[in-house]
Amino acid sequence: MSGSIPAYGPDGTEFVGRLAKKPVIATPMKTRFTIALVALLAGGMVFAQDRAVRSDLTAEDLARVQAVTRSTTDFTKPEGSEKNSAGKGTTDFSVNADSFSHFLDNLSFEQEEQFKLGNALFRKIWVSSPSSTQASDGLGPLFNARGCQSCHIKDGRGHPPFEGQSENVSMFLRLSVPPGENDTPLALDGVVAGEVGDPVYGTQLQDFAVPGLKAEGRMVIDYTDLPVTLGDGTVVTLRPPSYSAADLNYGPLADNVMISPRIASPMIGLGLVEQVPAEDILALADPDDRDGDGISGKPNFAIEPVSKSVMLGRFGWKAGMASIRSQSASAFAGDIGVSTPLFDLPHGDCTENQAECLAMPTGEQARLGVSEAPDPVLDLVTFYAQTLGVPERRDVDAPAVLRGKAAFYGAGCASCHMPKFVTSRAAENPAHRFQLIWPYSDFLLHDMGEGLADHRPEGLADGSEWRTPPLWGIGLTQTVSGHTFFLHDGRGRSLVEAILWHGGEAQASRDGFAKMSQSTRDDVIAFLESL
């Protein structure tokens, strides 16, 4: 893909495109740790209309990168190094439930120690305050999970409640309302869009609370059946969900509240994604579909809380976070109710209308640091997330896999699920530096149609737009996570169902898949399961 890429001078003047007007930084809105998101890339970086030029490469290296990332046309054999999804960091352990929990294979011995310490903190169970375990208290007071691993089970994919399961362990509801007159005016003009939480319940519904406090409520999911007939007469039953909140303990939600479900995403390869040069991602954006291929990916942007600079969003279901560190700190505050140096919110998502919550004790102790999870904790958890490896692919030369790869490309799936990138030569960690990786994502926002729409904007993402999720490791979902629930809310109970939910820009690819013969569809699934 190619297309209109916005170009900005140092003063923010727009030269090309229509994604932004002027650079602006939003002031805080009325709810906790709202990150303003803006439609620009700061720092004076100027992009060519069709292809950005990477500043980390020599001309010779640039030619090598362009050659090795060019889309293949030969499906008779695997591409060179195709089985090494994470380059030299690819892990090759036996396939089992721990397949997503190994460190990059090219870490140094000293870094392995950091990884293991971070792993211990990632698995840590936080407790309420006050507690004798003073390095582990600070939970909540309202929360969705007691630790990172509680949602990212085995570092894998979350899921809706299983049949008969009464509690959600890796899924929750995002909450927000449209910005009002008393909120940041910049949030109203289309240039800046932030999340304004529900006046009482904040930015997510929290179904757990510490002793002495009531949880906010619980998520309710109602499914209906939707039979879909494929081209060969096969009938697949999809399950459209509807979401609501029940047993609300602090009054009703706002009349104009917007609800969006989220399951936890797999953790593998995040550090490598962080080192994909922004130029290479932005070069794929085509918001006006100038090439006429029906694909109009666009970037999301975020203001990094440390540098206060505008950066390309690449993490989260709508690419609303720019770095692993900010994503981790946001999860600490919103999911667990633990404060960090990035988000000094010892009461987590408690709002000013939840006096009982704000009156509860916190775990902040000056002798241990200025927050419940001070820099050493956040640093190690961030390092852990940055250095999780990606398993080696399986059966890359199997005839069915090669046929499925050809059909995947032929249906246009690779237009958004871009197979490969080369990471930056300037990456801080040598393990991330100049690696050919195969995430199968362009990390851009795409309109996925009304069927998947949550009607809730997040930054530049509107209610029907989602970031292309990486596909690497998707074939090990059952092995690692014990289920095959896919998409942002787990509604797809199989890869086939997940594909059939695609609409909008992906409608033609979805229809192409639906028209395939049973054997060709099986080949496509074999290819996906090899990733």
Residue 176 has pLDDT above 90, yes or no: yes
Mean per-residue pLDDT, 184-200: 62
Q: 339-357, pLDDT tens digit by residue?
A: 999 999 999 999 999 999 9
Question: Residue ranges of the domains in the chain?
Answer: 7-530
For residue 179, what pLDDT band results from cuts at 50, 70 and 90? confident
pLDDT at 303: 78
Residue 369 has pLDDT above 50, yes or no: yes
Residue 472 has phi, psi (to 5 degrees) of: -60, 135
Whole-number average pLDDT of the chain: 88
| CA angle centred on 358, ends 303 and 456, rounded to 5° | 40
Q: Which residues contact 434 (CB under 8 A, 6 or more apart)?
A: 61, 422, 423, 424, 425, 427
Mean per-residue pLDDT, 296-312: 84
Q: 36-94, pLDDT tens digit by residue?
A: 333 333 333 333 334 568 999 999 999 999 999 999 999 999 999 999 999 999 999 99
Helix (H, G, I), strand (E, B) or coil at 493: coil
Residue 188 has pLDDT above 70, yes or no: no
pLDDT at 205: 97
Distance of CA 269 to the CA centre of its chain: 12
Tokens of 215: 């949880």
pLDDT at 399: 98
CB atoms within 10 A of CB 12: 17
Spatial CA neighbour of 500 closest among 479, 478, 524: 524
pLDDT at 167: 77
Spatial CA neighbour of 78 closest among 394, 389, 390: 394
Max intra-chain CA distance, the chain: 68
Threshold 0.85, pTM exceeds: yes
Residue 8 has pLDDT above 70, yes or no: no
Residue 189 has pLDDT above 50, yes or no: no
Distance CA 17, CA 288 (A): 9
pLDDT at 51: 54
Mean per-residue pLDDT, 521-526: 98
pLDDT at 345: 93
pLDDT at 131: 86
Cis peptide before 439 (omega within 30 of 0): no
